[in-house]
Amino acid sequence: MSGRHFVLTLALLVGTLALAEESESPFPFTGRAYTDQYFFTSPQNPRSLAQSSAAIWLEYEKLQNKGVGIKAVGQVDFLYRDLNHPAQASARARLREGFISHQSEGSDLRVGQQIIPWGKSDGINPTDYFTAKDYTLLNPDDEVKRVGAPAVNWSFTPMSGTSPLTFQFVFQAAYPQTRFIIPDTVVPAGIQVNRYPDSPVLFEAKSMEYGLKVAYLKSDFDLSFSLFHGFTSFPEYVFNSLTQTIVAINPAESAVGSDGSFTFKSYIVRWETALHLPENGQANDPLFGLVEPSHWDSVLGIERPLFQDFRIQVQALYRWHLYFRDEPYTSSANPVVNQIQQGVARANATLLNYRRRGNPGATFRLAYAKERAVWTADLFLVGYFAAGQDFLLRPQVGFTPRENLKLLAGLDLYGGDVSGPLGALHVQSDAFFEAKLLF
């Protein structure tokens, strides 16, 4: 199937569904069907089509007697130009979520495949320990990219659910894995690279994760503290001198964090912070200087309405590394191995954004969303200042011709210093279109 025919087929499929008469579904589930078309806009990219995809989600949720419930969300993706697969076209199906729950006064227990996002900030969440994202699936909604894992998730609120305190315990049988878009410019030439780590094995000690959150919630104020022990979802790269290949790993890590928010007149203030301590992040570790060191991430944001139908939000970002080495250091007696390891270390620093010991940044969002409006608009900007001022600018416009049909068009514009994680993606700048049908 050619790329053009694939795109036309997907558009026709979604268009046909959207023109169908609205009626009450005879099936006991809800869902969505959507298609996304991404086209490169950078003149430095020789290709025009970045990715063409279609997907269908089916969701079933039912609460049985005595507080027992079940929820299942299945997802099937059809992709042309799959960034994570050597074939031009591919299809993949997965259980996005599927768990059994039991709810009683003050208690909510869920067991099964789950997506458990933590954090208050917009888009950048230092305390989001338990989920990963698949950035090779191009989609304007970051929540679509989230990946979960089999887990036990129990929330308990004392005093039969009336206490302002809530305790949340999480156990994951295996850590989820983030998949990056890896620019060719950051990969050392002439070396075989295994871009993604091996999948973790369920219930192995080197796969399991644990977390605890204590939250205090009032009507105009909330605060939480969290503890975590598990693995970073982001891949890091090391050179294996025995196999002469570059392999990806997910290091073990522990973390402690906090988030909260409060309202003041028309303002909402949110903050989120976490100290991440990966196993290879100390100054005395053999991999120190080659992988990301221990670091402290923080986000502080404020938002408010603007005029009648707009909202504006600004966030300050900051990352500080407890230990840091300006240049990669290797102790191998082989100068070729040293050169390769230094190249891999620079690639890690670019992908994971630690080219400097202190890395300030900011986000800006301006959104137009009038109640029951047919048109919506959103402008989002994120940038980092320490590594050459790289950025991502994402303007988008939405159109809702009918209640269950949503159309969206926008741009992803990467720029700035190519040594930064966003600037390195400048050739991946794109224009996109999405059609989504809810049923």
φ/ψ of residue 19, rounded to 5 = -85, -10
Q: In the structure, what pLDDT confidence band is assigned to residue 155 with cuts at 50, 70 and 90?
A: very high
Check whether 24 has a pLDDT greater than 60: no
Compute the distance between CA of residue 127 and CA of residue 276 in angstroms, rounded to an integer: 9
| Mean pLDDT within 294-314 | 96
Q: Look at residue 87 in the predicted model and tell me its pLDDT.
A: 65
Check whether 5 has a pLDDT greater than 50: no
- Longest CA–CA span in the chain (Å) reads 72
| Mean pLDDT within 141-170 | 97
Q: What does 394-437 look like in DSSP terms, one character per residue?
A: EEEEEEEEETTEEEEEEEEEEES-TTSTTGGGGGG-EEEEEEEE
- Tell me if 149 sits within 8 A of 174, measured CB to CB: yes
- Domain extent listing, the chain: 3-302+321-354+397-438
Lowest mean pLDDT among 2-11, 34-43, 183-192: 2-11
Enter the tokens of residue 322. Answer: 């407890």
Report pLDDT digits (tens) over 344-395.
Answer: 888 888 889 888 899 999 999 999 988 888 999 999 999 998 756 899 999 9
Maximum mean pLDDT: which of 15-19, 132-136, 222-226, 388-392: 222-226
Collapsing DSSP states into helix, strand and coil, what is residue 295?
strand
Q: Look at residue 23 in the predicted model and tell me its pLDDT.
A: 43
Report pLDDT digits (tens) over 54-89.
Answer: 999 999 999 888 899 999 999 999 999 867 665 688
CATH number of 3-302+321-354+397-438: 2.40.160
For the chain, give the mean pLDDT: 89
Q: In the structure, what pLDDT confidence band is assigned to residue 12 with cuts at 50, 70 and 90?
A: very low
Q: Look at residue 329 in the predicted model and tell me its pLDDT.
A: 64
Residue 42, C-beta contacts closer than 8 angstroms, at least 6 positions apart = 426, 427, 428, 429
| Mean pLDDT within 256-272 | 97
Compute the distance between CA of residue 237 and CA of residue 204 in angstroms, rounded to an integer: 22
Burial class (CB in 10 A: 0-12, 13-18, 19+), 43: exposed
Report pLDDT digits (tens) over 101-133.
Answer: 999 999 999 999 999 999 999 999 999 999 999
| Mean pLDDT within 265-279 | 97
Enter the tokens of residue 147. Answer: 């990946």
| Mean pLDDT within 200-220 | 96
Burial class (CB in 10 A: 0-12, 13-18, 19+), 86: exposed
Higher-confidence position of 408 and 385: 408
Q: Look at residue 196 in the predicted model and tell me its pLDDT.
A: 82
Compute the distance between CA of residue 59 and CA of residue 30 in angstroms, rounded to an integer: 5
Q: In the structure, what pLDDT confidence band is assigned to residue 331 with cuts at 50, 70 and 90?
A: low
Report pLDDT digits (tens) over 282-296.
Answer: 888 888 888 899 999
Enter the tokens of residue 175. Answer: 């850590």
Check whether 260 has a pLDDT greater than 80: yes
Lowest mean pLDDT among 133-137, 150-154, 165-169: 133-137
Burial class (CB in 10 A: 0-12, 13-18, 19+), 337: middle
Residue with tokens 């890690």: 348
DSSP 180: -
Q: Look at residue 242 in the predicted model and tell me its pLDDT.
A: 80
Q: In the structure, what pLDDT confidence band is assigned to residue 342 with cuts at 50, 70 and 90?
A: confident
Of the chain, the end-to-end C-alpha distance in Å amounts to 29
- Tell me if 288 sits within 8 A of 282, measured CB to CB: yes
Q: Look at residue 369 in the predicted model and tell me its pLDDT.
A: 85
- Tell me if 439 sits within 8 A of 30, measured CB to CB: yes
Q: Look at residue 102 in the predicted model and tell me its pLDDT.
A: 96
- Tell me if 424 sits within 8 A of 183, measured CB to CB: yes
Check whether 16 has a pLDDT greater than 70: no
Q: In the structure, what pLDDT confidence band is assigned to residue 215 with cuts at 50, 70 and 90?
A: very high
